[in-house]
Amino acid sequence: MRRESVERGDIFVISAPSGSGKTTICRELLSRVEGLSLSVSCTTRERRQGEKDGVDYYFMDEVKFGKIADSNEFLESASVYGRRYGTSRRAVEAIVSKGLDAVLEIDVQGGASVKAAVPEAVLVGILPPDWETLRKRLFARGRDDREEIERRLAAAQREIRELGRYDYLVVNDDLETAVRQVEWIVRARRLRRERTTGVIGRILGRGGEEKDGSSNG
Ligand code: 5GP
């Protein structure tokens, strides 16, 4: 498939309450859609089993995080479940300046900050089909203890309400359908961008106006 060359990529923010399948959807999306790159966030939370520094997150202590925040190097940062998370401006810039689209898997507060800083960023919210399913998924994955799950459910109430402000909402009932819908959003956005970038100029070329017989009456 032809892809028009793009000077700067777009930012896609993907947010969801914990247990909505966001991480799986993002992984699938990146494996299916060319020209996407995941922005790796910084966090002060401890590393979980199997996670790699520099791949899943840049893991750091409060002091280092604070220094980065103070020097205004975060495009956005937020506290989630008592831990700090932030998106590095430089990391996002490195992606979009290559003409790739950046995927930011961040929370709703982060999404709102990105939209304020970069209004053309596309905000995509992933929702569980219903509340009961969300509860069940959080218990079934067996990663967190009951207290942590209750904390995540309380946060989910707030997050779901705030996702109402997002540009797009995708309900993750069937995983394959949800992945395909997020893929459509990315591809539709690219078609929109290509209206205003390369395609018209490429077709008309430099002599476009001369070929247009109506231009001189
Ligand atoms: P977890 O600790 O489970 O990996 O992530 C907890 C929450 O923090 C998730 O909603 C995740 O999307 C969000 N998150 C991860 N990185 C960032 C970030 O850089 N900024 C913000 N605002 N949220 C983040």
Whether residue 98 has its Cβ less than 6 Å from ligand 1: no
Domain ranges of the chain: 11-39+100-216
Question: Tokens 């053309």 — which residue?
Answer: 120
Q: In angstroms, what is the C-alpha Rg of the chain?
A: 20
Mean pLDDT lowest among 3-7, 36-40, 121-125, 165-169? 3-7
The model's pLDDT over 131-182, given as tens digits with 9 standing for 90+, comes to 999 999 999 988 788 998 998 899 999 999 999 999 999 999 999 999 999 9
Out of 44, 53, 106, mutate this one to test ligand 1's pocket (max ligand atoms within 8 Å of CB): namely 106
Q: What is the pTM of this model?
A: 0.88
For residues 4 and 1, give the distance between their C-alpha atoms in angstroms, rounded to a whole number. Answer: 10
Give residue 201's pLDDT.
78
From residue 141, give the alpha-carbon distance in Å to each of 18, 136, 138: 11, 9, 6
Question: Tokens 């998924």 — which residue?
Answer: 137
The SS3 of residue 103 is strand
Class for the domain spanning 11-39+100-216: alpha beta
3 — pLDDT class (breaks 50, 70, 90)? low
Question: Tokens 């020097």 — which residue?
Answer: 71
